[in-house]
């Protein structure tokens, strides 16, 4: 309860920050975008990660205003990237279950895209399998609406749900993100290697892009590249970092 009360205050007092983790195109080795990951600068506890407060925010309903803040901040970022050297960058934002199933998301997105004149194709929304499956009909309708606007949709943590394949059948999406649980043991576990390779092939056969999460070693990177995985994200390339640092990293590439 203490943390919950403190969270509402944190939003009012602007203690949240978006960190960015680069996403790398494997064929070229270049940064093609980033995933936005929320951080909380607690005045006494220091930096608090989302694993500690997102579940509380979900339960208390704070996730709605917090999620709106994240989208607003992401829109500002995309608008500020309309400058040479940054204009190609895509930004991926995580959506919580409540955000997906609430009525406010689409009007809020429409307002943001319009106000900031953002190319919707540069905004990607990540939805976990479990969030989408809480209300498959509603999720399906939401994804249709998002994609009709040109916004990209990715399935997060792909393969960890109970019905990953049904998800592919039910929902119109653009990309899947292979969960890091599968990537972790690619080198040591032949089953994981087969699962990852087959998942990439399956996604491509369906016309979907693939991002591998949690890439930590050169061997994993080589494997994924050999299997035609499109993009990767993980500590091998970079940890989530403040916006200015990310922008400097992108600029230093060219
Ligand atoms: O950043 P970190 O590596 O600790 O992220 C942990 C989890 O928190 C991830 O599963 C991520 O999806 C989730 N998360 C991070 N930022 C956000 C956000 O802005 N909204 C939601 N709903 N989840 C987030
Ligand atoms: O939304 P999602 O659950 O995918 O959030 C990504 C989470 O994974 C964040 O908490 C991020 O800090 C973490 N992460 C990103 N790259 C790596 C990695 O290479 N290894 C591990 N163990 N975690 C990572
Ligand atoms: Mn994610
Ligand atoms: Na994930």
Q: What is the pLDDT of residues 176-193, one digit of tens each?
A: 999 999 999 999 999 999
Collect the ranges in the chain with pLDDT lower than 50: none
Indicate which residue's Cα is closest to atom 22 of ligand 1: 96
Q: What's the CA-to-centroid distance between 253 and ligand 4, angstroms?
A: 26
Q: Is 51 in the pocket of ligand 1 (CB under 6 A)?
A: yes
User: What is the widest separation between alpha-carbon atoms in the chain?
Assistant: 50
- Write b or e for each residue in 193-224: b if 16 or more Cβ atoms lie within 10 A of its Cβ, otherwise e: beebbebbeebeeeebbbbbbbbeeeebbebb
Q: What is the pLDDT of residues 8-21, one digit of tens each?
A: 999 999 999 999 99
Q: pTM for this structure?
A: 0.97
Reference 232, options 202, 208, 212; nearest CA is 212
Token pair 């995985």 is found at 229
Question: How far apart are alpha carbons 220 and 53 in whole angstroms?
Answer: 31
- pLDDT at position 3 is 82
Q: Is 156 in the pocket of ligand 2 (CB under 6 A)?
A: yes
């Amino acid at each position: 309860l203490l943390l919950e009360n403190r969270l509402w205050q944190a939003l009012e007092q602007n203690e949240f920050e978006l960190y960015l983790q680069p996403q790398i195109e494997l064929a070229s080795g270049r940064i093609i975008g980033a995933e936005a990951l929320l951080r909380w600068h607690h005045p006494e506890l220091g930096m608090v990660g989302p694993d500690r407060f997102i579940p509380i925010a979900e339960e208390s309903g704070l996730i709605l205003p917090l999620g709106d803040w994240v989208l607003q901040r992401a829109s500002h970022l995309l608008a500020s990237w309309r400058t040479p050297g940054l204009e190609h960058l895509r930004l991926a934002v995580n959506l919580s279950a409540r955000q997906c199933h609430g009525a406010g998301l689409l009007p809020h997105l429409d307002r943001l895209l319009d106000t900031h004149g953002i190319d919707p194709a540069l905004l990607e929304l990540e939805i976990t399998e479990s969030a989408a499956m809480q209300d498959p009909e509603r999720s399906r309708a939401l994804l249709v609406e998002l994609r009709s606007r040109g916004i990209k949709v990715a399935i997060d943590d792909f393969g960890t749900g109970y019905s990953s394949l049904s998800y592919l059948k039910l929902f119109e999406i653009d990309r899947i993100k292979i969960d890091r649980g599968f990537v972790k043991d690619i080198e040591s576990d032949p089953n994981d290697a087969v699962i990852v390779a087959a998942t990439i092939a399956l996604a491509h056969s369906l016309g979907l892009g693939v991002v591998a999460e949690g890439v930590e070693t050169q061997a994993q990177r080589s494997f994924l590249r050999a299997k035609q995985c499109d993009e990767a994200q993980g500590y091998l390339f970079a940890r989530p970092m403040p916006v200015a640092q990310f922008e400097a990293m992108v600029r230093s590439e060219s």
